[in-house]
Amino acid sequence: MYLPPALLLLLSAQVAPAAYAFAPHRSLADATERFHRFAKRHSARFARDLRVVFQGLAVDQAESDPNASHRVYCVRPDDLSAGFGSNTTSTSPATSSATGSASASGTSSGAAPTATSPWKLVESHSGKNFFDGFSFWDLADPTNGAVDYQSQEDAESGGLIEINDDGNAVLKVDTTSTISGNRKSVRITTENTFTGGIFVLDAVHMPQGCGSWPAFWSNGPDWPTFGEIDIIEGVNDYTNNQATLHTASGCQIASNSTAQSLGISSTLIGGTNCAALETSNQGCGMRSDSNTTYGSGFNSIGGGVYAMVWDDDEIAVYFFPQGSIPQDLTAEVPLPETWGTPMARWPATNCDLDTFFKNHSIIINTTLCGDWAGSVWTASGIPGQETSCAQRTGYSTCEDFVHNSGASFGKAYWEISSLKVYQTTRQS
């Protein structure tokens, strides 16, 4: 987006505090330096504010011109790029693409990768070394699922993990016909932790079907003290993704929040209080308006890219279907302010992110039944699950279905092209 210099000066004057104006007792160099520091701190929020203003103008224009585009891009100024050290962890050969082979086709969207980005790649998982840098959880499921999580050695020998011919990582659920106990599955956690960043998962398939409860999420120590961010989550036959924050007491979104006021493409689920222990662990969730963002809906379009942005101003979740992945992500120079409307967004206004979110590990898992999937086994009227799983399967409980219908879990697998993490400076 091009903005005339005069307009930029006018807008800058509106957002800069009076203390940054030139005064007789301040030198030009001093004022310039002070304004530079101010702009550096507030440019991301300023860019978002500009985007909201001009999106409003675009909507007005579209009402008079049905062929007008509703997407307006503002590009981060080049002078915000920051220096970066060599603290990068990679589990695959260097590549110029942020996606696997399944993401290479189609037309990308977003800003052209000519601008620099302050976000630098600090960890990457893809290809034959995808599982390097992950630990395998082999303890009981904390969400009371009917699963037996496997060690890496057992998951490999049991055929539950592999790198397929496309170079994608596959994480499966055991499909043995009948079992007497819990069904074998996989849960992996990054060995490194992160405070803030952009977390990008490129997947061509995710688990689907009754009984399943997959998730791509991040979690801090001493839950819920340092927070949980659910990026991809749902259960059973749901087709609309739900992103959720679970926190300690004191984090919330404004009580009068709406999808419109937050600027999201989702519906608020479960209220505005994010405190896990005050909401029976419901947290503050947002369910996507799209039925191709989760489960069978996600798989029907060949998957896509989820990106979670966690900075000083907000936590936000974006989804891009395959063929519509921003060029800056493909080029590994993410410019989130150009990505348009997020699926979900939690501003820092009523939740101090520095207090409630720290030292997160990234987790990918598939549990079965448990506290959520099991509790809504008989529920209906949910996007993708118009009739209940009890009716669809003929089993009265989720656990009976898991024990006696192994073939039904043939589609309960993740196929992941890559997982990448970006930060402005390395923070664990």
What pLDDT does 77 receive?
31
Place of tokens 């609309």: 240
What pLDDT does 115 receive?
75
What pLDDT does 265 receive?
99
Catalytic residue at 123? no
Q: Is there a contact between 322 and 301 (Cβ–Cβ < 8 Å)? A: yes
What pLDDT does 114 receive?
60
What pLDDT does 15 receive?
41
Pick the CATH number of 88-423 from 3.40.50.300, 3.90.1150.10, 1.10.275.10, 2.60.120.200: 2.60.120.200
**Parts of the chain with a pLDDT under 70:** 1-114
Instruction: Tell whether pTM > 0.85.
Output: no
Catalytic residue at 63? no
Convert the pLDDT of each residue in 378-421 to its tens digit. Answer: 999 999 999 999 999 999 999 999 999 999 999 999 999 999 99
What pLDDT does 48 receive?
46
Domain boundaries, the chain: 5-64, 88-423
Convert the pLDDT of each residue in 136-157 to its tens digit. Answer: 999 999 999 999 999 999 999 9
Place of tokens 């966690």: 310
- Count CB atoms within 10 A of the CB of residue 324: 15
Per annotation, catalytic residue among 33, 162, 191, 233: 233
Q: Is there a contact between 309 and 424 (Cβ–Cβ < 8 Å)? A: no
In angstroms, the CA 327 to CA 117 distance is 13
Per annotation, catalytic residue among 123, 191, 228, 337: 228
What pLDDT does 71 receive?
29
